[in-house]
Structure 1
Amino acid sequence: MKRGPKFSRCIVVDDDPDILLSARLLLRELFEEVATFTSPDEAMAAMDVALPDVILLDANFGRGATNAAEGFHWLAEFLKHDPQAVVVMITAHGGVQIAVEAMKRGATDFVSKPWSNERLLATVRTAAALRSSREEAVTERRRAAAVTTPTAGGETPLLGKSPLIARVFSLIDRAAPTEANVLILGENGTGKELVARELHRRSRRTDGVLVSVDLGAVAENLFESELFGHVKGAFTDARGDRIGRLQAADGGTLFLDEVGNLPLHLQPKLLTALEQRQVIPVGANKPVPIDVRVIAATNLPPDRLADESLFRQDLLFRLNTVEIELPPLRERREDILLLVDHFVALYAKKYGKPVRELPGDVAAALQAYDWPGNVRALRHAAERAVILAGEDRFTVEDFSLSRGTAPKPSAPPSPSPGDDLNLDRAERHMVESALKKHSYNISLAAAELGLTRASLYRRMDKHGL
């Protein structure tokens, strides 16, 4: 008779060596490994090595004991050690009351001594299948918990009519239906995540999840746990199993944002996972297969990506099967007013504000502005303008362009940074200078400023950079 695939592991705990031998010989047709123990302590220690699919636990260990007190104690201990444990109690012939009480305390089923081989096989097979279904349900819950929600503005479509953005749309059209990995290049705020979401939406994986990971914001000591997951007890704060982002994206798309900020010594770990299409959670010894399409993004310019001291070229080749470069807003000025109209309408509806006129001089100033923070900065400026503007029309001041680099031909020269004692402007200047100095590499700029990457991101958002 053709048999299905075997389950992984069964643990049998009984003080009778003959019972253990019979169980091992019978159950080996169901399990790859049948581990037998006369001591529950030894069985508990074995669970630290690998969790079993099923535990067969004797109800009584002491000579002459019949009340199952010791069996109930160890049933509780096994369930405390592994809340998903599937325990089948072994009871004396006719111990129906003990069996019922065992199931009330968390046992999955019971078998009576002397057992029928067919009954034991059927009971244990059903119990192992229950364990498998439980694990699948837990994995799905963890997967759902690991999937990140869209960032603010994720609902905004990618907008534009300029030739440069039209080329981006064309690349998305051609790349999205394929399984090719995509690398998105562009300055901060140009809309790299919007492109990633559009690629996923138009792909064959659209029914799967899109999991986003901001590698610039992941602490180095948490990198492996965040991406690969961990098992309970893998480190001090690992109080339970946690699924990693790569496994959470299984069957869908993984978006690796700010991949250029991943420290050089961590890049091989990511490369290995992508090449082997499997991950090993921290503290585990068994690889987990993954099926993901990778979309990555970085604000590093191509010449910096080509620098072996910053980025491994074998990882770059793995990521950039297709490369999409997003132009900065200053290079597609014909799209600025289209974006302003969109965001003004969006925030007027959100805040219950009236529709206001955009005078010609304001439109001209917005189109002439360089927008160093790109679309993200324009979005923030539109939100402020909708909140602060008067009843009838917008003014240039409503958009706070004086903070940026809008052309002001008749304005007197601005004071040097050393002469300007305004803390807000001084902070903006320092952050902007550090970003430009390091070609918008967040890690290097943050180190220069003495900040964490998360702190630098907050200041960039504050100043629209």
Structure 2
Amino acid sequence: MRLKDIKILILDDDSDVLIALRLLLKSKVKEVVVEKRPNNIMSLFEKNNFDIVILDMNFNGLVNTGNEGIYWLKKIKQLSPATDVILITAYGDIDLAVRSLKEGASDFIVKPWENERLVQTLHELTEKKGKKKPARSSLKTEAGKIIGESAVIKDVFFKLEKIAPTDANVLILGENGTGKDLIASAIHENSLRKDKPFVKVDVGALTASLFESELFGYKKGAFTDAREDRKGRFEIASGGTLFLDEIGNISLQQQARLLTVLQNRQITPLGSNEPIPVDIRLLCATNLELTVLADENRFRKDLIYRINTVELTIPPLRARGGDIKLLTNHFINMYAEKYFKDSFTVDASFTEKLKDYKFPGNVRELQYALERAVIMAEGQTLTAGDLMFSPIEKFQDTVCENDLTLETMEKNTILKVVEKNNGNISKSAKELGITRTALYRRLNKYGL
């Protein structure tokens, strides 16, 4: 299906928005219908088969919660499940973005939108129509599968299935060792850009002098050692996905430079005055909490909104319950094969030691501990004595004596109950005396 063959409905109570979008799209699609009153949706769908709807999140003008947008999104999906809906709003509410994708939206765009990006999104949705949806239940990556059956990791899988096919920028949050790079790889490999480059950059490790040359490239003679032209990571990733790891560790000056590039969608190599347009999907990751990033003395809020169309929090291993057993079996089998050893069994002491440990280093620490156990094992049964945890990891108790705020106490209580119930959300919600939905909201709020 081609873009020029589709019919688009635009719903917004702002006449200027309707005029701007109509002018932008009328020459690119078969038909554009604009409407200020969402109450007319039913009659519009009775007369037309719309391929895509661009829907405002707020029609009230008094309370901009986005609830109206979610309501009308559901109505549209009931009337025409095959219609793609792009939600558009002036408020970069991250929880709302995730919620809208969960309710069936195809993408989420923040005003003021970028014309090129909006048209590109329409192109991608059009190309996807009629094609078989790629299977994503296993979430395979080049490094293997993301393994887990706990409620908290299934929630991550669900969000990944919704987020991956869109072109939304994603901020991946989580402790060190939780697998943020594996999640980034899964997003790319299950996206429409999967056949294009996936470029990872650990920006937190780049010095001030290397930051611009690595990301934006340079021309021959730009500095003493620049003996030839070199493309930057943005240009190499153009058409695909750029993953900026440890984004929370870059300086305010570097943030300003990055923001300019994301706003203009073009880079200028060192030693050149000619800007180069780039088309990338941006994924970022950090082990810092969003509340820390929101401190403007440390991180620019305007940049947060640019990189954080959707926020995805990866749970720590200690909150994933039975996933520890699944991962243990996976890693033991993997390393037994790698080191040409026969299959292993584990005894009760080995299992008990795993169960009692908090895993401050998360999946990465578990993986290294099991690799060592397989290498050093004397027999084919692994015991507690074979299991040695890294001394470089130190678990920080979530209860801080100097922080007795109500939020901290609530967060710590939720974490303890979820851990106690091995990641079972239903049991945890019942024990806390709240609904599953209310517990999910609090887990998202505190990044658990």
User: Does the TM-score normalized on the shorter chain lie above 0.5?
Assistant: yes
Cα gap change, 1:272 to 1:247, in 2 (>3 Å): same
> Which residue number in structure 2 is paired with residue 365 of structure 1?
353
For 2:187 and 2:161, the matched residues in 1 are separated by 8
For 1:396 and 1:307, the matched residues in 2 are separated by 44
For 1:357 and 1:349, the matched residues in 2 are separated by 14
Residue 369 (structure 2) pairs with residue 381 (structure 1): yes
Shift of residue 217 of structure 1? 1.4
Shift of residue 180 of structure 1? 0.4
Residue 175 (structure 2) pairs with residue 184 (structure 1): no
Residue 286 (structure 2) pairs with residue 298 (structure 1): yes
Q: Secondary structure at the match of 1:308?
A: coil
Identity %: 50
1:208 to 184, 192, 196: 196
For 1:348 and 1:172, the matched residues in 2 are separated by 31
> Which residue number in structure 2 is paired with residue 392 of structure 1?
380
Shift of residue 193 of structure 1? 0.7
Query: Contact 1:334–1:367 (CA<8 Å) still a contact in 2?
Result: no
Q: Residues 233-252 of structure 1 correspond to what in structure 2 (within 5 A)?
A: 233-252=221-240
For 2:385 and 2:209, the matched residues in 1 are separated by 45
Shift of residue 287 of structure 1? 0.3
Once the two structures are superposed, what CA deviation does each residue of 1:410-451 show, in whole Å capped at 9, x if it has no partner? xxxxxxxxxxxxxxxxxx38x888xx99xxxxxxxxxxxxxx
Shift of residue 367 of structure 1? 2.2
Q: Residues 63-74 of structure 1 correspond to what in structure 2 (within 5 A)?
A: none
Shift of residue 302 of structure 1? 1.6
Query: Contact 2:350–2:387 (CA<8 Å) still a contact in 1?
Result: no
For 2:224 and 2:142, the matched residues in 1 are separated by 35
Q: Secondary structure at the match of 2:345?
A: coil
Amino acid at match of 1:298: T
Query: Contact 2:268–2:274 (CA<8 Å) still a contact in 1?
Result: yes
Q: Secondary structure at the match of 1:212?
A: strand
Q: Residues 158-237 of structure 1 correspond to what in structure 2 (within 5 A)?
A: 158-237=146-225
Amino acid at match of 2:155: R
Q: Residues 23-422 of structure 1 correspond to what in structure 2 (within 5 A)?
A: 155-401=143-389, 403=390
Q: Secondary structure at the match of 2:366?
A: helix
Contiguous gaps of at least 5 residues in structure 2 = 1-140, 401-448
Query: Contact 2:359–2:395 (CA<8 Å) still a contact in 1?
Result: no
Q: Secondary structure at the match of 1:387?
A: helix
Q: Secondary structure at the match of 2:205?
A: coil
Contiguous gaps of at least 5 residues in structure 1 = 1-152, 405-427, 438-465
Q: Secondary structure at the match of 1:333?
A: coil
Once the two structures are superposed, what CA deviation does each residue of 1:109-163 show, in whole Å capped at 9, x if it has no partner? xxxxxxxxxxxxxxxxxxxxxxxxxxxxxxxxxxxxxxxxxxxx96132111101
For 1:216 and 1:259, the matched residues in 2 are separated by 6
Shift of residue 223 of structure 1? 0.2
For 1:216 and 1:382, the matched residues in 2 are separated by 29
For 1:215 and 1:328, the matched residues in 2 are separated by 23
For 1:209 and 1:343, the matched residues in 2 are separated by 29
> Which residue number in structure 1 is paired with residue 76 of structure 2?
none
Pairwise CA RMSD: 1.9
Query: Contact 2:174–2:316 (CA<8 Å) still a contact in 1?
Result: yes
Aligned pair count reads 258
Amino acid at match of 1:343: F
Shift of residue 393 of structure 1? 0.8
Amino acid at match of 2:178: T
For 2:174 and 2:235, the matched residues in 1 are separated by 27
Once the two structures are superposed, what CA deviation does each residue of 1:295-316 show, in whole Å capped at 9, x if it has no partner? 1100001210111111111110
Q: Which has the larger radius of gyration?
A: 1
Once the two structures are superposed, what CA deviation does each residue of 1:274-331 show, in whole Å capped at 9, x if it has no partner? 1111000011110000000001100001210111111111110001111100011111
Using structure 1 for the length normalisation, give the TM-score.
0.54
Query: Contact 1:344–1:386 (CA<8 Å) still a contact in 2?
Result: yes
Shift of residue 228 of structure 1? 0.1
For 1:255 and 1:367, the matched residues in 2 are separated by 34
Amino acid at match of 1:206: K
Shift of residue 333 of structure 1? 2.4
Query: Contact 2:267–2:278 (CA<8 Å) still a contact in 1?
Result: yes
For 2:169 and 2:237, the matched residues in 1 are separated by 14
For 1:340 and 1:380, the matched residues in 2 are separated by 11
Amino acid at match of 2:271: G
For 1:241 and 1:397, the matched residues in 2 are separated by 55
Query: Contact 1:230–1:281 (CA<8 Å) still a contact in 2?
Result: yes
Amino acid at match of 1:180: A
